[in-house]
Amino acid sequence: MASIELVTKKRFMLVTGRGSEVLAKEVSDELKLPLTDMTLETFANGEIYVRYGDSVRGADVFIIQSHCTPINDRIMEQLIMIDAAKRASAKRITAVIPFYAYARQDRKASGREPITAKLIADMLMAAGVDRVVTVDLHTGQIQGFFNGPVDHLTAVPMLAEYLGSKIEGNITVVSPDAGGGKRARKFATLLEGMGFDTELAFIDKRRPKDTMNQAVAEEVVGDVDGRVCVIVDDMIDTAGTMCAAVDLLISRGATEVYMAATHGVLSGPAIERLEKANVKEVVITNTIPLSEDKQIDKIKVLSIAPVIAEALDHVFEDASISEMFQGDNF
């Protein structure tokens, strides 16, 4: 009796929610893979309807969705897309979340508070996700909230390469708080590899009790006099802290100040503040779509699509992600 040879065909299916349509198209172009047809609708009462246009049975399904405004709708939409893929017998479901919402609610700062970043992780796992791919989490330990693999990508090399091509002179990389020191150190190391004389500094800031999105920049710790400063953070939200840091650095002798962040949340008065700030350029990525009313000359948007596309290809081929960043995708 002749032996039977089983040949397993892997299928890569890329889909997007309404929070990342432009970015997903860029990822699709990088991978030279079409986006899977999806029906996404919102009923009059606010409920969300999802249906896959093609069979996902036995496929590796990658669902791209940034948790951008309206945040709760985008999260719910991704959860429903995961559930639909699971019920349609997808082999493996990967939630690709360029911007992970509620990441700043990663611990209890006082009594009777939630840990919402953990709740989001629990909801994704309960919906049926097998793996998560995300970019520059607010704190790396959020990866431990998931009972499954998390591939943590970073835009730091991309941001450093861009600014390294723009800046002339000695550079001080500034963390807006002590907690961002590791990110700033990596940024400085990358600039040193490009031949720059770099120093590190951080802003000593105080957050008034019982306030939201408010912090007071009080002092600079580090050498900034006569140097170009680059403030590096994971996100720019209302830009209050960043703009206060710019004023402080200029008052301490910085010749120019740049801002670099992965996620341009840019909520509330952020754009107005950035327009008035004495900052040379604000460099972000497109993990969050930048609406037309927020597109000002000072803001430069870099595409994270090549990084995400390469990572998804590695996941599909069961290759290493950390090798993409020489093990520094903290």
- As its CATH architecture, domain 156-302 has 3-Layer(aba) Sandwich (3.40)
* Pair 35, 24: CB distance under 8 Å: yes
**Residues pairing with 95 in the sheet:** 63, 132
CA distances from 231 to 48, 128, 235, 239 (A): 39, 38, 11, 12
The active-site residue out of 118, 205, 280, 298 is: 205
Give the pLDDT confidence score for residue 215 in this predicted structure: 64
- pLDDT at residue number 204: 87
pLDDT digit string, tens, across residues 211-222: 665 666 679 999
Whether the predicted model's global pTM rises above the 0.85 cut: yes
Res 188: pLDDT: 97
Q: What's the token pair of residue 135? A: 């970019």
Bridge partners for 256 per DSSP:
228
The residue with tokens 């909230």 is 145
166 is catalytic: no
All CATH 3.40.50.2020 domain ranges in the chain, comma separated:
12-154+306-325, 156-302
Given a contact cutoff of 8 angstroms between Cβ atoms, the answer to whether 58 and 10 are in contact is no
Q: CB–CB of 101/120 below 8 Å?
A: yes
CATH topology for 12-154+306-325 is: Rossmann fold (3.40.50)
Query: Angle at the Cα of 102 (from 97 to 106), degrees rounded to 5?
Result: 110
Residues 225 and 200 sit within 8 Å (Cβ to Cβ): no
pLDDT at 326: 76
pLDDT number for residue 9: 80
Digits of tens for pLDDT over the chain (330 positions)? Answer: 556 665 568 899 999 999 999 999 999 999 999 999 999 999 999 999 999 999 999 999 999 999 999 999 999 999 999 999 999 999 999 999 999 999 999 999 899 999 999 999 999 999 999 999 999 999 999 999 999 999 999 999 999 999 999 999 999 999 998 888 999 999 999 999 999 999 999 998 776 666 665 666 679 999 999 999 999 999 999 999 899 999 999 999 999 999 999 999 999 999 999 999 999 999 999 999 999 999 999 999 999 999 999 999 999 999 999 989 876 765
Longest dimension (CA), the chain: 85
Q: How far apart are CA 291 and CA 234, in angstroms?
A: 19
